[in-house]
Structure 1
Amino acid sequence: MSAALSDIAVVDAGAPASALRPALWTMPEYTGSLAALEEKERALATRLTGIAGRFFRARFATSLAAEDMVLTDAILRGTQAVRAGIRVFTLNTGRLHAETLAVLDEVKAHYGYTVEQFTPDPEAVENYLKKHGLNAFYDSVDLRKDCCGIRKVEPLNRALSHADAWMTGQRREQAVTRAELPFEEMDDARGIPKFNPLADWTESEVWAYLKRHNVPVNALHAKGYPSIGCEPCTRAVRAGEDVRAGRWWWESKDSKECGLHEQNIKH
């Protein structure tokens, strides 16, 4: 397993304490024009209106991190048809950061909306723990995917059991596994269309939107976390690193998907 950020060696032992810590990721500054951002927002609203108009039971799976808060805001401040037509839910894996869970209360206070939570099957979790141990996911990709399967994929399948389409906050810029991400694709595993409305958004556009509309955000972003998953599988990243470098950091960057978006990995 890779060393934690706090364990990274530095060459100048006599440097001030602040210099001994690696610079962490910070929220990017938007350098585009307001007109360009407004056009991106209008295009997003059109996409959401189109999804709500085509499907009766569309669902949005939010991780409660930055991109997904853009979509949450756009849905909950959208037209009545969009707000009624796209239900927002999250997967509470049982191993999320306290900061992530706090976002649920912030959404309720800010929008008057309760995000539905889907949790893992307790028996499946208990069986995994008895057989492999609490943190066996560090030992192999297969054991990590087994854990993700129990805590994320199976609850997602239940959440989408009656859906006729679903949405994610994925972006092409996030990782090599998402470089060719389309706006609309078929989720072959579940037999329904899957939409990625922010596929062509940049990281700076995401943060410009969040600031412009005063959207509640996960407190971990201010601590160097651009991408946030379960607590033991997520860490802060250095400035300049891939935004998903802190997700399953001990694995190859070509396999960093949990099963929710398995089609992103080229076999």
Structure 2
Amino acid sequence: MTLTHETLTQSDYAKINEQLDRKDTMEVLKWAYNEFGDELVYACSFGAEGMVLIDLISKVKKDATIVFLDTDFHFYETYQLINKVKSRYPTLNIELAKPELTPEEQAENYGDRLWEREPDACCKIRKLIPLERELGRYQAWISGLRREQSPTRVNTQFVNQDNRFKSIKICPLIHWTEEEIWMYIKLHQLPYNELHDQNYPSIGCEFCTKPVAEGADPRSGRWADSGKTECGLHQD
């Protein structure tokens, strides 16, 4: 049976995750690419988890497709990192997905600095709608979510029903700790965003990301002072 969002039931997801329960990340990735092939895309933010997944994916499927939501508002260091990754993994298909509106068009239609006044609206225009468009081209997608990251992610499974994007979301890193992520990066000398060395554990758009105080929640620098904790990509 071809696995699709439309055909899989809750019972099917439970059975799949039971089968994968004792598998490691590489085995989960091999299962995913064997099951979906070119119908699987990795939606990557190029954070620390992204560097680990890109390296592992390159060992499983050298021509895998990776999509990055280019909001036009990312840090210079993020774009610099993407160029380094393209050089290191030349056979990977790395695509930059743009919103329909340019920053100038968004300001004209919704007012200047929308991210300050209505961050959810800005994320919808520049992240959610573009990802919806991109994921509509595939049966399943890979995410770098880890259970340790936040209370909203503690129940994430290897294979998840994604009602938000009507897709199947695969999360191979759910059991990894932050320490293990950085051990892998250092061991394999992977490139990573230089902002991580400047107290930016979680990096999004430049206007909505601040450095984090030592010992604080790693995601507290995202949409700081707004009460917002997620962009909406991982909420059903």
- The aligned residue for residue 37 of structure 1 is none
Query: Quick one: which of 101, 124, 132 aligns to 1:122?
Result: 101
Kindly indicate whether residue 74 of structure 2 is the aligned counterpart of residue 96 of structure 1: yes
Query: Is 1:50 aligned to 2:25, yes or no?
Result: no
Say yes or no: does 1:261 pair with 2:234: yes
Question: How many residues of Structure 1 are paired with residues of Structure 2 in the alignment?
Answer: 212
Structure 2: how far apart are the matches of 1:126 and 1:181? 37
| Number of the residue aligned with 2:62 | 83
User: 1:171 & 1:227 partners in 2: Cα distance?
Assistant: 13
Structure 2 equivalent of residue 154 of structure 1: 129
> Secondary structure of the equivalent of 2:121?
helix
User: In the alignment, residue 164 of structure 2 is paired with which amino acid?
Assistant: A
Asked if 1 retains the 8 angstrom alpha-carbon contact of 2:164 and 2:235, the reply is no
Q: What SS does structure 2 have at the residue aligned with 1:148? A: helix
The aligned amino acid for 2:54 is: T
Equivalent-residue separation in structure 1 for 2:109 and 2:96 (angstroms)? 27
Kindly state the Cα deviation for residue 93 of structure 1 after the two structures are TM-superposed.
0.3
Tell me whether 1:66 sits opposite 2:28 in the alignment.
no
Deviation by residue 1:154-184 (Cα, 9 ceiling, x = unmatched):
1111211210100111111112221222221
**CA offsets 1:170-205 (integer angstroms, 9 cap, x no match):** 111112221222221111133221011111110000
Q: Which AA in structure 1 matches 2:230? A: E
2:207 maps to 232
Q: For the Cα contact (< 8 Å) 1:97–1:230, is it kept in 2?
A: yes
Rounded Cα–Cα distance in structure 2 between residues aligned with 1:191 and 1:131: 29
State how far apart, in whole Å, the 2-side matches of 1:103 and 1:180 are.
31
Residue 260 of structure 1 deviates from its aligned partner by 1.0
Letter in structure 2 aligned against 1:227: S
Letter in 1 for 2:112: L
For CA contacts below 8 A with separation 6 or more, give which structure has more relative contact order: 1
Q: Which runs of 4+ in 1 moved over 3 A?
A: 125-128
Unaligned runs of 5+ in 1: 1-41
Q: Name the SS for the 2:168 alignment partner.
A: strand
Aligned residue for 2:220? 245
Q: Distance in 2 between matches of 1:222 and 1:114?
A: 28
Greater gyration radius: 1
1:111 maps to 2:92: no
Could you tell me which runs of 5 or more consecutive residues in structure 2 were left unpaired when the two chains were aligned.
1-22
Aligned partner letter, 2:232:
G
The residue type paired with residue 115 of structure 1 is I
Q: Closer, same or farther in 2 for the Cα pair 1:65/1:149, shift >3 Å?
A: same
1:207-265, Cα deviation, whole Å (9 max, x unpaired): 0011111111011111111100000000110111111110011133xx411121123xx
Would you say the 8 A contact 1:91–1:156 is kept in 2?
yes
- The equivalent of 1:11 in structure 2 is none
Find the aligned partners of 1:189 and 1:177 in 2 and give their Cα distance.
15
3-state SS in 2 of match to 1:122: coil
For 1:191 and 1:138, the matched residues in 2 are separated by: 29
SS in 1 for 2:125: helix
Q: TM-score, normalised by structure 1?
A: 0.75
Shift of 1:43: 1.3
Percent identity among equivalent residues?
A: 37
